[in-house]
Chains A and B, each alone.
Chain A
Amino acid sequence: MTTRSTRSPRRRTVIALAVVLAVLAGFIVRLVDIQIVNADDHIADSMQVALGASRTLYGTRGEIVDETGQTLAGSILLYDGVLDPKNVGPLTREDEDGKRVVVPWKDVAAEIAAITGQTAEDVQKIVSEALAENADSQFAYLQRGLTTEQYRALVDIGAPFLTFDQHPARTYPDGAVAGNLVGFMSIDGDPLAGIEQSQNDCLLATDGSLSFEKGKDGVVIPGTEVQQPAVNGGTLQLTINRDLQWYLQQLIGEQVQDMGAKRGTITVVEVKTGKIRAAAEFPSVDPNDVSASEVENRYSHIFADTFEPGSTFKGLTGSIVLDAGGQDLSSTVVASSSETFPNGARVRDAFQHEAYQYTLAGVLIDSSNAGISKFSERVSPQTRFEYLQKFGIGSGSAIGFEGESRGLLYPVSQWDNQQLYNTSFGQGVTTTVPELVGAYDAIANGGMRMPLSLVESCTKADGTVITPDLPEPTQVISGQTSAEMREILENVAMQASYAKQVEVPGYRIATKTGTGEKSDGSGGYKAGVYFTTMIGFAPAEDPQYLVAVTLDEPTTVTSSSANAPAFQKAMTQVLKTYRVMPATTAPTLLPKFG
């Protein structure tokens, strides 16, 4: 069939088809190359060649809010004014009559300065210095962190050599309220302290971008926008109550000044949950104006400082001997104001007295070092050590605050003869405020030590709520011991020398003071100055709030009585803030002596 005449057209067809297919294949290869393989490069090229533009979509850094949702830290936009020194010069403007007037640079500089709060000379100096350094300089900061109002006013000057970079910044509406906790950020947006730093993962926003093509007149060409949306940071809710925090900061500020102390703190913890409701200290930092405070006041001393607690530890030792030493409210020891123990250790009380037959309540009311030392002999040192560990001494807190310290509790094998007794009344051991309030939380809360927390939750931009993982509560002492200890501490508040000063009319409260000696850094103690503490809770019959007041080296009154007025006011305010009802039952008076 295939004759010469039929073969020829078919071959032509095949050849033609092959050519067409080859060309097509070539196009397909090129198409894939352009559209898929090198697509990104080409898009980038097109953006450059065409009137493409792109800008960063800033995500907003998350807010930090208090217990009730009030903003402690929010985000605003600030602007950096940038001068182009090379092109700085006179401006041509039209006046009211439509005539063109040339405004000399000197006057423009004065206009700029009037807005930024600099002087005309400052502005001129920025330019001349930049030019002196590099004659072709096109970049010099006029001022960073301009407000929107300043920015708009500067734009209205109409100087082409003045441009602006917008960047997100932080604002703290309440100023120094909780500034010690919230922390602050650098002008470049890096978190530098406090919760801003430790909870950065929650707060951090992810920037997006918007790229588009513009027509000749700057209008975006429809359909050319490519948006990579920004993701806002999460909202971080703290357990802090800002009104209470303010009151306590104001209060401790006054108390520190009244007592001529170096610094002071007030911490409030919700007994049943371990949530920190306020952590006030003075001096502190206003995150809006960090440079106004000394470097050593820019972080939280509540979490960072360790101290020898002194007599507040008698509450812990008392709990231990009740729980593990077979003691009860009627058990007694005989102690005079100065006791020498068989191992050679000598313990003295703060006041002179003959040999009393003290009950445990009496020992705590008089804060007798000798008395608690004798009681401490009713349990082994190892037992005391283990209990102190269970109370959380030396293990920090569950908060893990930026720069948080831990107390130093030596193992029993390293206790010398004196330390064997000193540890029972809080010397020869250091602790921190969070550790101490954690330990007292166990006493107040039926023996159950709740992990402290400062962060309530983090709500991400997509609505997911993340709550921090907290360790399990620890049963430190029995409920029975806790009840007995609460009764003893209530009697301390009623019968101690400062009873009148700490009384909150209508309420039953429990307290214990501590006057800790301070290390002089060379193995001894400083003379005449102390770290004083007053810790307590209310209502004593059903503890709900724990308050700890500390003063570092008060001088007007050097003992822990210095803390009493502040403690009383702080406790009153806490009970008011949380609408805790006054007591309807009467306390039981415990005898001091057996």
Chain B
Amino acid sequence: MSAADALSTAPLSAPARRADPARRFRVVEQPSRRRRPKLIYGVVALAGALAIGTAQMALSILTTQSSYELSTLTQEARQLTWQKQILYDDVAGLSSPQYLAANASALGMVIEESPSYLRLSDGALLGAGQAALGASSVDAIGRASVPNALITDTPLVTAPDATIEGAPVEADVVGMDGGVTNTPPPITDGLPTPSTH
């Protein structure tokens, strides 16, 4: 009985092992069929590679293209820089005080002596309040003593025959009939009019 007991009680300790059917090995009838690789992956990979290639080529073409464009623009910029320099050289010195003063002198403007100020609050006149005497305190055109090599030969705007170094030939403008000396030359082509549209 004891043995039967032992036998009868023994299976109770490990029933689970025997109960697992999956753990059983078996002989396969034939090897499982190899699955065919999906075509789509290959297509994607190839297309990707092609796309990358194309994109790179396109980019490269674009860069080259723009580098030519850049080169043209640089050339253009250089031309414009030259032009700017030429123009700058042309006008150099025209802003100088000598030129301004000589032009003003040629027009008959004078540098006046002491200034007067009108006080707006009460209309009071501060200063001497004298009229200009007609003589300039310096002779900017007749006795120019501040040279400027940039505009030595540049004609004045207001007196094309004169430069900052040379006096205009004013003495010759005496009227034939002994009249006013500063008579402007007669207008032959009618009054000058601005051209408008």
Contact = CB atoms under 8 A, between A and B. Distances in A.
Interface of A: 70, 76-77, 147-149, 151-152, 171-177, 218-222, 242-243, 246-247, 249-251, 253-254, 257, 282, 284, 286, 288-289, 292, 504-507, 569, 572-573, 575-576, 581-582, 584
A254 B138 contact: yes
A573 B137 contact: yes
Interface of B: 63-64, 66-68, 70-71, 82, 85-86, 88-89, 92-93, 95-98, 101, 111, 113-117, 126-130, 137-140, 143-151
B114 to A, nearest CB: 4
Given A175-B147, A220-B67, A506-B126, 9 more contacts: A152-B86, A173-B150, A177-B97, A247-B138, A505-B114, A505-B128, A505-B130, A506-B128, A572-B113
Contacts of A70: 95
B96 A171 contact: no
Given A148-B86, A173-B96, A222-B63, A286 B126 contact: no
B126 A582 contact: yes
Contacts of A77: 85
A266 to B, nearest CB: 12
Contacts of A174: 93, 95-98, 148
Given A152-B82, A504-B114, A572-B137, A253 B145 contact: yes
A282 B145 contact: yes
A538 to B, nearest CB: 11
Contact of A289 (B86, B115, B146, B149): B149
12 contacts: A171-B92, A173-B150, A174-B96, A222-B66, A246-B97, A246-B98, A253-B145, A253-B146, A506-B116, A506-B126, A573-B111, A575-B114
A254 B143 contact: yes
A577 to B, nearest CB: 10
Nearest to B126: A582
Contact of A253 (B63, B68, B117, B143): B143
Contacts of A250: 101, 138, 140, 144-146
Nearest to A258: B143
Contacts of B138: 247, 250-251, 254, 569
A505 B127 contact: yes
Contacts, number: 139
Residue from A250, A253, A507 having most chain B Cβ neighbours under 10 A: A250
A573 B112 CA distance: 9
B117 A175 contact: no
Contact of A147 (B89, B93, B114): B89
Contacts of A147: 85-86, 89
Contacts of B96: 173-175, 177, 246
Nearest to A152: B82
A582 B125 CA distance: 10
Contacts of A172: 150
A257 B144 CA distance: 12
B148 A176 contact: yes
A581 B127 CA distance: 8
Contacts of B143: 253-254, 257
A76 B85 contact: yes
Contact of B101 (A173, A242, A246, A572): A246
A247 B111 contact: yes
B88 A76 contact: yes
A286 B149 contact: yes
B61 to A, nearest CB: 12
A581 B124 CA distance: 13
Contacts of B129: 506
A149 B97 contact: no
Given A505-B130, A581-B126, A575 B149 contact: no
Contacts of A175: 93, 96, 98, 146-151
Contacts of A243: 97
Contacts of B126: 506, 581-582, 584
Contacts of B70: 220
B115 A575 contact: yes
B85 A177 contact: no
B134 to A, nearest CB: 16
A504 B115 CA distance: 9
Residue from A147, A175, A505, A584 having most chain B Cβ neighbours under 10 A: A175
Contacts of A220: 67, 70-71
Contacts of A219: 67-68, 71
Residue from B71, B116, B126, B138 having most chain A Cβ neighbours under 10 A: B138
B99 to A, nearest CB: 9
B148 A286 contact: yes
A174 B151 CA distance: 9
A277 to B, nearest CB: 15
Contacts of B63: 222
